Amino acid sequence: MTSSGGNRKALYIVGGVLVVVVLAAVSYAFFQKSPSGSSSSATYTTQVRGAVVTAGKSAPATVDIYEDFLCPICGRFESKNGADVRQAIADGKIQVRYHPVAILNRATNPTGYSTRAANAALCAAEAGKFADYHDKLFAEQPEENSAGLTDQELVAKGADVGLSGSFSSCVTGHRHNAAVDAATLAAAKDASLRAEGKGFGTPTVLVNGKRADWSDSDWLTSVTK
Partner 1 sequence: MTPRRLDLIGTLARVGLAAVFLVSGYLKASDLDQTYVAVNAYQVLPKPAVEVVAVVLPWFELALGVLLLLGVGVRIIAVISALLLLTFMAGVTQAWARGLSIDCGCFGGGGDVAADKTSYGTELLRDTGFMILAVWLIVRPRSLVSLDGWLARNGDGAGLSGGGLQT
Q: Which residues of this protein are in contact with partner 1, per CB under 8 A?
A: 1-11, 13-14, 17-18, 21-22, 24-26, 28-29, 35, 72-73, 76-77, 80, 107, 143-145, 215
Distance from the Cα of residue 190 to its chain's centroid: 20
Counting Cα atoms < 13 Å in the Cβ hemisphere of 2 gives: 2
- 193 close to 200: Cβ distance less than 8 angstroms: yes
CB of 109 to partner 1, least distance (A): 9
CB of 137 to partner 1, least distance (A): 17
Looking at beta carbons only, is 31 or 210 nearer to partner 1? Answer: 31
- 74 close to 27: Cβ distance less than 8 angstroms: no
Residues contacting 57, CB < 8 A, separation 6+ = 44, 45, 92, 95
Looking at beta carbons only, is 80 or 116 nearer to partner 1? Answer: 80
* Nearest alpha carbon to residue 155 among 142, 170, 144, 143: 170
- 122 close to 51: Cβ distance less than 8 angstroms: yes
Looking at beta carbons only, is 90 or 107 nearer to partner 1? Answer: 107
Looking at beta carbons only, is 12 or 164 nearer to partner 1? Answer: 12
* CA 48/CA 43 separation, integer angstroms: 16
| Beta pairing, strands 94-100 & 52-55 | antiparallel
CB of 14 to partner 1, least distance (A): 4
CB of 19 to partner 1, least distance (A): 10
Looking at beta carbons only, is 128 or 142 nearer to partner 1? Answer: 142
CB of 3 to partner 1, least distance (A): 8
